[in-house]
Structure 1
Amino acid sequence: MRVLILLLVSFYIAGCEELHDTDAKTNTYLDRVKQKDPVDQFNLGVIYEQGNGVIQDYRQAIYWYRKAAEQGHADAQLNLGVMLDEGRGVPQDDTEAVYWYRKAAEQENAIGQNNLGVMYEEGTGISQDYIQSVYWYRKAAEQGYAKGQNNLGVMYFEGKGVPQFDTQAFYWFRKAAEQGDRKSQNMLGFMYDKGRGVSKDDTKAIDWYRKSAEQGYALGQSNLGFMYFQGRGVPQDDGKAEYWFRKGAELGNATAQNNLGFMYYEGRSVLQDYMQAAYWFRKGAEQGEALAQSNLGFMYEEGKGVSQDDRKAVYWYRKATEQGHTIAQSNLERMYQNGRCDSIDLHY
Structure 2
Amino acid sequence: MSDTMKQIVLASRPKGAPTPENFRLEELPLPTPGEGEVLVRVHYMSLDPYMRGRMDDAKSYAACIPVDGKMEGGSVGEIIASNAEGFAVGEFVMGGFGWATHAVSGTQGLAKIDPDTTPITYALGALGMPGLTGWYGLTELGKPKKGETLVVAAATGPVGSMVGQIAKAKGLRTVGIAGGPEKCKLAVEHFGFDVCLDHRAYDTAADLRAALEKECPDGVDIYFENVAGKVLDAVLPLMNAHGRIPICGMIAWYNEGGVGADAIEKTLTAPKLWRTILVNFLSVNGFIIANHFDRMPDFHKEIGPLISDGSIRVQEDITEELENAPKAFIDLLSGGNTGKAMVKVI
The interval holding the TM-score normalised by the smaller chain is under 0.3
Max Rg structure? 1
Q: Would you tell me which structure has more helix in proportion to its own residues?
A: 1
Provide the TM-score with structure 2 as the length reference.
0.24
Structure with the larger RCO, 1 or 2 (CA within 8 Å, 6+ apart) = 2
Q: Would you tell me which structure has more strand in proportion to its own residues?
A: 2
Provide the TM-score with structure 1 as the length reference.
0.23
